[in-house]
Structure 1
């Protein structure tokens, strides 16, 4: 399970775009705690501390204990909005957890025992279809990662969710099919697949690929307004 995090916060006395912009100028990030059959609680947190916790790499899959006025509230992060130009956090949503609650999370996968895979030893390539698994977990038992064993796998083999032993308290959120997580392919098959996706495929002579435009100041402001 990912380690629980602590995040000090203060309640927001005023709502609205102007108040939120003033908080951001002071190095604070507007946020809200909702769920648990209680009214949403508008809060703000220190930007530097939020960024530090985001940099742990497991923030979105961690229990976050938010301290508001001496009272701690168990939550899990549901969304963090970022400024499209500066990439600074501009708003965060936290879901309040009731005792015994189950939650939907996306948990990264890691592959183990690659050195004992005959297919990989022969030069095969592990083609990862899903880098994360959508799980329904007990709030107190959120796994930090899911290990997938590739021991004995040959080129042409596929790894499906039915082969994966999930931790106690976790189950797949997708239950209507035995979906593929990864396949072992020959290097030549992988190169052919990559070649089909090259930019400019099917273009007429003289045409050039369009250059993606970066967001301008108006788009950045619109993103902030949507996050209030």
Structure 2
């Protein structure tokens, strides 16, 4: 598992006015909470966190928040962006414990779709019903993504949550809620439409 280090500073002043001043200075206000420690207000360099948040790992990996060398392992829990500017307004991070099961959203990576029977059949639409799933596992087992191999996908086939191949130590909490929660992940079906049937001979023309 790759280490993703985010350098942060302690944030002394709080409140809307202080946050606005921070943003004007090129910083992003944030908070770290969870575990046995109290919440801590921090600030992060906007340019560096803007670059980091463009990577998929930023949203689904354990991050190492480093405050003057004191490193805490966290997950991103919320990110607030400006409605139209390229600006991050606030971040929430949750501490994780090595010995406690966590829940996190993990992206799905679909592979070999074009090699599948469905992918090679004209007029077939392959729909990705989900692009991420919520997993439960220990921090050390958290995958950055789950690969969905579609090489055997046939026309009319449906890939469900229960069909996903999960890494060791990883579960899908949704499946524990009953069969109704075993939802479709991928559906391969014939596209609607096509050529119209010719009108019956002698039928009325509209």
Q: TM class by shorter-chain length?
A: 0.7 to 0.9
2:117 match = 118
1:146-157 superposed matches below 5 A: 146-157=146-157
1:69 CA drift (Å): 2.8
Structure 1 or 2, whichever has the larger Rg, is: 2
Question: 1:178 pairs with 166, 175, 182, which one?
Answer: 182
1:17-56 superposed matches below 5 A: 17-56=16-55
Q: Under a length normalisation based on structure 1, what TM-score does the superposition of the two structures give?
A: 0.77
1:78 match = 77
CA distance in 1, matches of 2:193, 2:91: 42
1:188 aligns with 2:187: no
CA distance in 1, matches of 2:96, 2:82: 28
Q: Under a length normalisation based on structure 2, what TM-score does the superposition of the two structures give?
A: 0.85
Cα 1:163–1:11 change in 2 (3 A) is same
1:1-228 superposed matches below 5 A: 1=1, 3-123=2-122, 124-175=124-175, 176=177, 177-188=181-192
Does the 8 Å CA contact 2:60/2:107 hold for their aligned counterparts?
no
CA distance in 2, matches of 1:149, 1:85: 37
- Residues 22-43 of structure 1 show CA distances to partners (whole Å, capped at 9, x for unaligned) of 1111111000000012210001
Cα 1:120–1:37 change in 2 (3 A) is same
Structure 1 gaps of 5+ residues are 191-228
CA distance in 2, matches of 1:170, 1:100: 14
CA distance in 2, matches of 1:21, 1:112: 44
CA distance in 2, matches of 1:53, 1:167: 25
- Residues 53-93 of structure 1 show CA distances to partners (whole Å, capped at 9, x for unaligned) of 11122201121111113311111111111111213001101
Structure 2 gaps of 5+ residues are 195-206
SS for the counterpart of 1:99 is: coil
